[in-house]
Structure formats: structure tokens, C-alpha cells
């Protein structure tokens, strides 16, 4: 049993002396921690604590008709508020916002109240809740971008103290829709945000290439190609540049075998008013690119200046079709050569015959010499 003297009022509470109500929520959600003072009393002091963190500060601290964040543990600042700021009818419940796995623990509500006339005699009220936070399947990533001047300050979150936001699921946690296309084709990677929301951030990634850049990155009402992986620059664009009705699908152009992989869409949206509450939406697609039977070659001829320009290719028949064409060409050439030889032979025989005829005519025209 713990006795604490505060302004001549005695607070009596030990965390194991109160039955703890179990509460379970998922990461990213808000949770109400319930506590109730008797109606018709004056709340002199309200203190929410987590015993394992108490040495570093409170979860919530209220005295003299106001809350004091300076007494809070750093991880709870900006995330805890009274459910009813007026504490009407003795409601001393608090809302803990944007919970994470680290918020799992026991939460004790401790109060000192006096009667309505404000007598100094105090009554101690307490309640306790065991909070369990389970994984929602969302991955926590930093808010800030690659460069210092490109911080994602436009993304409003309740956890702004540590500049973290919950965005999108890890690839293993989302059902990946299979998509199959052929080389050289364009493919639409589908993703949808709820209608009537403000898209704060849109990020398409390929987990196996994420360290070298995104497939597509959108923020502040524009796309940033400097955050893209080099192989995707100039080949990815929004299907609807206005993202009407929440359409966050992208078009990947002129695909090749190397584009085969899993593509994750991660979105952060807020309501239409732009409140600080944030919702994370995600989808995933498994793209398979098969050989179309065509080989891509440069449009122009040889030479160092002949680079492979995006999308400007000629298609040359390859694989089994290529063999058939080659055989056909060889047979055709042989037949042509044989015909040419026959024609030349016939013409040659005609030339020889004409020659001998002329010689015979000349011999017949010579005068005979008598001896």
C-alpha cells in the first residue's frame, strides 16, 4: 500500500490493489482509458501513471484545473487528453492516441477529490487497466525525406514529437494481387484511397529495391522523381493526375523482365478538413512480366551516339519464329541462285551458238583461191 501526501490530501493506491480491466487495440488506433470519479465532487488531482515508466514521468497529470505536460513521460506528450475537458459527471477518462506496441502495459488512474463545498477532507479513487496493443500490419517509417530540406512537414500525425508516422503494411502482411503482362506493354498498378479524404503522402515501393529508391513518390501535391529508383524514372505516372475519387493507381510503362516483383502502395490520408487524425491505407500487387517473343533493339544504326531511347524500339522476330524465317531465307536464296545459274547457262549456250553461226557465215563469204 502506497501513501502519498499532496496538499494535505492523502492518496492511497497500490497498483496490485486494484483489479485491472483488460483492453486490447491495434497499432495506430486511439484508445479510451476509463476512469470515473463520484458525481458531485471536486477533482483536486488526477494522475494517470504507468508503474514501469513512473520514474520518468506520468501518462497524464491534472491539478489546479489544468493539465501539465511537463510532468508527462516524453512518449506520451501530445498523445493524451481528457475525453471530456470539463470532466462532467466525474468523467476522468483519457484518450491515448495513435498507440504503438510500446504502449502495452498497465495504466493506473489515481485521483484526489473533495466534496462540493471544497472541504479539505479527501477521498481517494483509483482504477486500473491492462492495455495490450497488437500489430496492425503497418510498418513504421520516418516522416522526414532523404534530404534535410525535404522533411514531410505537411503530414500531420499525433505522434509528431518523434517524427514517426504509421504508413502501409509490410509486404508479407498484405494480400498481393497477381498481375501478368508481356514485355514492352504498359501495366496499371491498382491502389485506392477512400473518397473524400486528403492524400498527404503516396509511396509505391518494391521491397527488394527500396534501399535504392521508390517506384513512385508523391507529396505536397506533386511527384518527386529524385526519390525514384533509376530504373523507374520516366516510366511511372499517376493514372489520374488529379487522383479523383481517391484513385492512387500508377501506370508502369514499357515493362521488361527485370520489372517482375512485388509492388506495395502506401498512402497516408486525413479527413477532408485536414484534421490531425491519420489513416493508413495499403495494397500490394505481384507483377510477373513474361517474354513477348520480341527483342528490343535501338532504332538507329551502330555507333557510340546510338543510345537506347525510352520506348523507341523496333521489334525483331526471335525465338522459334526466327529459325523458321532463317531457313526460309536460305532456301529462297538457293532457289534464286539455281535459277540464275540456269538462266546464265542458257544465255551462254545461245551466245556460243550465235558466235559459231557468225564464224560460219564469214567463212562462206570468203572468195575461193584457186591454185
Alpha-carbon gap, residue 110 to 123, rounded angstroms? 11
What pTM does this model have? Answer: 0.39
Mean pLDDT by 10 residues, the chain (371 residues): 39 45 88 88 90 86 91 92 91 93 92 71 73 68 36 34 37 64 93 84 89 88 90 94 90 95 88 58 86 59 39 41 72 87 81 71 60 49
Alpha-carbon gap, residue 186 to 123, rounded angstroms? 71
Within 10 Å of residue 232's Cβ, how many Cβ atoms? 20
Mind giving me the DSSP string for 205-224? E-GGGGGG-BSEEEETTEE-
pLDDT value of position 346: 84
Residues 334-337: contacts with CB under 8 Å, at least 24 apart: none
pLDDT value of position 175: 62
Beta carbons of 9 and 3 less than 8 angstroms apart: no
pLDDT value of position 72: 92
Beta carbons of 293 and 303 less than 8 angstroms apart: no
The edge-to-edge listing of strands for the beta sheet with 250-252 is 187-189, 250-252, 236-238
Residue 77 phi/psi, 5° resolution?
-65, 130
Residues 327-336: contacts with CB under 8 Å, at least 24 apart: none
- Strand ranges (E), 149-271: 164-169, 176-182, 187-189, 197-205, 216-219, 222-223, 236-238, 250-252, 261-271
Return the half-sphere exposure (C-beta side, CA atoms, 13 A cut-off) of residue 161.
13
CB neighbour list of residue 23: distance below 8 Å, 6 or more residues apart: 31, 33, 129, 130, 131, 132
Beta carbons of 145 and 151 less than 8 angstroms apart: yes
User: Could you give the domains of the chain?
Assistant: 3-134 (2.60.40.10), 138-290 (2.60.40.10)
pLDDT value of position 365: 59
Amino acid at each position: 500500500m502506497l501513501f502519498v501526501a499532496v496538499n494535505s490530501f492523502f492518496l492511497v493506491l497500490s497498483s496490485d490493489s486494484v483489479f485491472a480491466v483488460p483492453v486490447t487495440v491495434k497499432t495506430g488506433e486511439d484508445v479510451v482509458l476509463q476512469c470515473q470519479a463520484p458525481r458531485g465532487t471536486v477533482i483536486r488531482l488526477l494522475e494517470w501513471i504507468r508503474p514501469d515508466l513512473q520514474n520518468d514521468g506520468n501518462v497524464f497529470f491534472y491539478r489546479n484545473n489544468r493539465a501539465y505536460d511537463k510532468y508527462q513521460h516524453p512518449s506520451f506528450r501530445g498523445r493524451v487528453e481528457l475525453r471530456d475537458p470539463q470532466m462532467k459527471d466525474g468523467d476522468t477518462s483519457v484518450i491515448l492516441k495513435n498507440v504503438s506496441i510500446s504502449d502495452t502495459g498497465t495504466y493506473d488512474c489515481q485521483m484526489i477529490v473533495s466534496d462540493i463545498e471544497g472541504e479539505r477532507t479527501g477521498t481517494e479513487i483509483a482504477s486500473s487497466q491492462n492495455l495490450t496493443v497488437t500489430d496492425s500490419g503497418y510498418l513504421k517509417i520516418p516522416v522526414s525525406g532523404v534530404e534535410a530540406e525535404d522533411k514531410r512537414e505537411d503530414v500531420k500525425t499525433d505522434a509528431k514529437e518523434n517524427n514517426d508516422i504509421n504508413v502501409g503494411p509490410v509486404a508479407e502482411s498484405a494480400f498481393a494481387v497477381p498481375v501478368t503482362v508481356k514485355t514492352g506493354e504498359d501495366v496499371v498498378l491498382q491502389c485506392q484511397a477512400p473518397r473524400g479524404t486528403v492524400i498527404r503522402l503516396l509511396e509505391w515501393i518494391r521491397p527488394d529495391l527500396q534501399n535504392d529508391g521508390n517506384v513512385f513518390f508523391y507529396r505536397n501535391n506533386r511527384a518527386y522523381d529524385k526519390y525514384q529508383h533509376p530504373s523507374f524514372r520516366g516510366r511511372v505516372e499517376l493514372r489520374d493526375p488529379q487522383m479523383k475519387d481517391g484513385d492512387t493507381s500508377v501506370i508502369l510503362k514499357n515493362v521488361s523482365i527485370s520489372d517482375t516483383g512485388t509492388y506495395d502502395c502506401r498512402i497516408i490520408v486525413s479527413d477532408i478538413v485536414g484534421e490531425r487524425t491519420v489513416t493508413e491505407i495499403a495494397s500490394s500487387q505481384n507483377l510477373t512480366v513474361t517474354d513477348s517473343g520480341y527483342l528490343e533493339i535501338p532504332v538507329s544504326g551502330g555507333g557510340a551516339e546510338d543510345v537506347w531511347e525510352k520506348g523507341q524500339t523496333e521489334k525483331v522476330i526471335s525465338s522459334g519464329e526466327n529459325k523458321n524465317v532463317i531457313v526460309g531465307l536460305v532456301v529462297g536464296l538457293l532457289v534464286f541462285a539455281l535459277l540464275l545459274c540456269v538462266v546464265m547457262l542458257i544465255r551462254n549456250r545461245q551466245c556460243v551458238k550465235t558466235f559459231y553461226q557468225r564464224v560460219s557465215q564469214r567463212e562462206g563469204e570468203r572468195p575461193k583461191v584457186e591454185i
